[in-house]
């Protein structure tokens, strides 16, 4: 990549695979369970976190030399909360429909451990540009897992993708339903998200033995 | 420039400064955007009421579509013939106001009545104001009533259009924070459409309500006199919340409809 140095590029590519926030750092599991019953929600959550983590990391990084270490967690929390609330208010005023879609996510973003985790682990010790890249990278890594989980849960649980039926109509018995296929309602329950995340972790670690801790 | 960020005095000053800066920033944002947000909410209420009445931009079997925001004020004016406000206390309607009477007394449009506040009033033993919007759709007169209750995480609310026999002729449900893909699906069209034609009263005229039921062997919802609609998978508590708010809030309107029919038969 010409735009980014090799070291900077790694900040984006690492979290996508070998240092994924969900499967390796095991952060942000709660929201991965809560909102992945449909693909659209997963995507929206991914974009929202991308936005907040990118900006939040920069803000924290700019303040890193003046934040008193004793209250740094509270300061981080205030920064995320303020950011999210301001974005929410602006959306409510100028893009009301969109804000309705996002309303559920506001609370989930503020309490998302990935955001606090990256502030704490990266932004407090690095410059704004690198922090920004780290934020984008981690948010993308988070979004990828959310989208994979959302894809399987919505497909197997409801037979739809982005709300569009792709397997036929379960009530009229068309498509694959005509040969006796049934939607697995279990996939819509949060525990199944945990199982899918577990399967992703399994696949990932069996392909790259270096990730296995002993 | 090295600041000793470990000193207690610095920590306190930083905390105070941070609270002041963030607090005023949030206050400024909230107050400067307030008029826009209030206007959006107002239009949303009109859109929701019209949606329940069957006046919407729905096409085919697609997603729910409202009357567009630039047309909603006009559509609300032409389609809602009257906004009634019923004052309800101890199982009876003690007063019926029309829009003008209500506005003279309370200085606001009846559709802006805060149902949550009215529910709190009723709980405190005071009278409760029940808005009822009279409109025309499919060539008939329908009555739209607001309902409000609790879902799994947060408030759920909606509007139900009824004919004079209290048969459902349209619904709209919304929620503050139900789980996407599960409880949030009460806002899906297939769920709302299921209510069409369902009855609230038994043959004898006793209020029974509609239950969101699991495994009612009627997934296409063709049986319209079973007082049940098919539940959403994985959203039991939200579904129960919908059943409860229909039962609790619409029941209060029953005396009005009884009275209406009595007058019609005279």
Q: Are A80 and A102 in contact (CB under 8 A)?
A: no
* B31 has a pLDDT exceeding 90: yes
Among A36, A39, A68, the residue to mutate for chain B (most B Cβ within 10 A): A68
Whether chain A has a CB inside 8 Å of the CB on B40: the answer is yes
Cβ distance B234 to A185 less than 8 Å, yes or no, reads yes
What tokens were used for B177?
């924070």
Task: Among A180-184, B19-23, B32-36, name the one with the lowest average pLDDT.
Answer: A180-184
Q: Tell me, what's the pLDDT at A34?
A: 79
Confidence of residue B2 (pLDDT cuts 50, 70, 90): low
Cβ distance B63 to A153 less than 8 Å, yes or no, reads no
Nearest partner of B190 among A194, A11, A207, A160, judged by Cα:
A160
| Nearest-by-Cβ selection for A70 from B11, B25, B37 | B11
Cβ distance B40 to A92 less than 8 Å, yes or no, reads yes
| Nearest-by-Cβ selection for A69 from B6, B25, B219 | B6
List of chain B residues whose C-beta atoms are within 8 Å of the C-beta of residue A65: 3, 5
Segment B112-127 mean pLDDT: 90
DSSP output for chain B: ----TT-HHHHHHHHHHHHHHHHHHHHHHHHHHHHHHHHHHHHHHHHHHHHHHT-S---TT-S--PPPTTTHHHHHHHHEEEEEEEEEETTEEEEEE-HHHHHHHHSS-GGG--HHHHHHHHHTTS-EEEEEEEEEETTEEEEEEEEEEE-SSSEEEEEEEE-TT-BEEEEEEEESSPPTTTGGGGGSHHHHHTTTT-BSB-TTS-B---EEESS-S-TT----SSSEEEPPTT-HHHHHHHHHHHHHHHHTTHHHHHHHHHHHH-
Burial of A69 (0-12, 13-18, 19+ CB in 10 A): exposed
Whether chain A has a CB inside 8 Å of the CB on B2: the answer is no
Confidence of residue B168 (pLDDT cuts 50, 70, 90): very high
* A1 has a pLDDT exceeding 50: no
| Nearest-by-Cβ selection for B179 from A34, A70, A93 | A34
Higher pLDDT among residues A77 and A210, named by residue: A77
Average pLDDT, chain B: 88
User: What residue ranges do the domains of chain A occupy?
Assistant: 6-204
Q: Tell me, what's the pLDDT at A22?
A: 83
Q: Tell me, what's the pLDDT at B222?
A: 75
Confidence of residue A69 (pLDDT cuts 50, 70, 90): confident
Average pLDDT, chain A: 84
The dihedral sign for the CA sequence A157, A159, A161, A162:
negative
CA max distance for chain A: 65
Whether chain A has a CB inside 8 Å of the CB on B184: the answer is yes
Q: Tell me, what's the pLDDT at B133?
A: 93
* B1 has a pLDDT exceeding 60: no
Q: What is the pTM of this model?
A: 0.75
Segment A98-122 mean pLDDT: 81
Confidence of residue A214 (pLDDT cuts 50, 70, 90): low
Segment B196-217 mean pLDDT: 87
By CA distance, what is B217's nearest residue in A?
Answer: A171
Q: How far apart are CA B131 and CA B182, in angstroms?
A: 30
Confidence of residue B160 (pLDDT cuts 50, 70, 90): very high
Segment B201-214 mean pLDDT: 88
* A2 has a pLDDT exceeding 60: no
List of chain A residues whose C-beta atoms are within 8 Å of the C-beta of residue B10: 68
Task: Among A146-160, B1-15, B66-80, B150-164, name the one with the lowest average pLDDT.
Answer: B1-15
Smallest CA–CA distance, residue A107 to chain B, in Å, is 9
Phi/psi-derived region of residue B178, left when phi > 0, alpha when psi is between -120 and 50, beta in every other case:
beta
Q: Tell me, what's the pLDDT at A62?
A: 92
Q: Tell me, what's the pLDDT at A191?
A: 86
Task: Among A72-81, A122-131, A132-141, B54-63, name the one with the lowest average pLDDT.
Answer: B54-63
Cβ distance A189 to B33 less than 8 Å, yes or no, reads no
* A101 has a pLDDT exceeding 80: no
Q: Tell me, what's the pLDDT at B3?
A: 67
In whole angstroms, how far apart are CA A194 and each of A23, A34, A93, B100? Answer: 11, 10, 37, 57
Query: Which residues lie below 8 Å from residue B170, measured CB to CB, with a gap of 6+?
Result: B51, B52, B53, B54, B137, B142, B144, B160, B161, B192, B195, B196
A5-59 pLDDT, tens digit per residue, is 778 888 888 888 778 888 887 888 887 887 788 888 888 888 888 988 999 999 9
Cβ distance B26 to A85 less than 8 Å, yes or no, reads yes
Q: By percentage, how much of chain A surpasses pLDDT 70?
A: 97
Confidence of residue B90 (pLDDT cuts 50, 70, 90): confident
Q: Tell me, what's the pLDDT at B148?
A: 95
Smallest CA–CA distance, residue A94 to chain B, in Å, is 8
């Amino acid at each position: 990549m010409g735009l980014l140095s090799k070291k900077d590029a790694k900040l984006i590519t690492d979290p996508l695979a070998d240092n994924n926030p969900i499967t390796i750092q095991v952060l942000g599991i709660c929201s991965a369970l809560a909102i992945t019953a449909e693909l659209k929600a997963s995507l929206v959550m991914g974009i929202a976190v991308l936005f907040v983590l990118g900006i939040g990391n920069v803000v924290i990084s700019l303040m890193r030399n003046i934040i008193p270490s004793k209250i740094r967690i509270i300061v981080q929390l205030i920064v995320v909360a303020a950011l999210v609330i301001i974005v929410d208010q602006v959306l409510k005023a100028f893009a009301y429909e969109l804000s309705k879609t996002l309303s559920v996510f506001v609370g989930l973003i503020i309490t998302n451990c990935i955001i606090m985790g990256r502030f704490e682990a990266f932004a407090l010790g690095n410059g704004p540009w690198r922090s920004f890249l780290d934020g984008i990278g981690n948010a993308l890594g988070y979004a990828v897992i959310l989208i994979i989980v959302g894809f399987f849960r919505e497909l197997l649980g409801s037979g739809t993708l982005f709300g569009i039926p792709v397997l036929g109509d379960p009530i009229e018995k068309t498509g694959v339903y005509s040969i006796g296929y049934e939607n697995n309602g279990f996939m819509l329950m949060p525990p199944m998200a945990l199982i899918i995340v577990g399967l992703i972790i399994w696949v990932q670690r069996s392909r790259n033995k270096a990730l296995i801790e002993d | 420039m090295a600041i000793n960020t470990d000193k207690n005095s610095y920590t306190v000053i930083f905390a105070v400064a941070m609270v002041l800066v963030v607090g005023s920033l949030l206050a400024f944002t909230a107050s400067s955007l307030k008029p826009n947000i209030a206007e959006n909410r107002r239009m949303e209420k009109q859109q929701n009421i019209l949606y329940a009445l069957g006046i919407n931009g729905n096409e085919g079997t697609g997603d729910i579509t409202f009357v567009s925001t630039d047309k909603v004020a006009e559509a609300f004016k032409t389609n809602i013939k009257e906004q009634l406000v019923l004052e309800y206390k101890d199982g009876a309607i003690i007063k019926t106001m029309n829009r003008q009477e209500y506005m003279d007394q309370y200085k606001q449009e009846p559709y802006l009545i805060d149902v949550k506040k009215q529910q709190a009033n009723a709980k405190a033993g005071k009278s409760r104001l029940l808005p009822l919007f009279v409109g025309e759709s499919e060539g008939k007169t329908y009555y739209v009533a607001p309902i409000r209750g609790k879902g799994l995480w947060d408030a759920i609310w909606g509007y139900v259009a009824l004919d004079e026999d209290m048969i459902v002729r349209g619904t709209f449900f919304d929620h503050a924070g139900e789980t996407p893909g599960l409880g949030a699906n009460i806002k899906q069209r297939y769920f709302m459409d299921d209510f069409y034609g369902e009855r609230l009263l038994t043959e004898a005229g006793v209020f029974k309500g509609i239950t969101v039921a699991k495994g009612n062997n009627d997934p296409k919802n063709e049986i319209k006199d079973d007082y049940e609609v098919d539940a959403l998978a994985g959203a039991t508590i939200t579904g129960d919340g919908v059943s409860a708010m229909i039962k609790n809030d619409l029941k209060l309107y029953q005396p009005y409809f009884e009275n209406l029919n009595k007058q019609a038969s005279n």
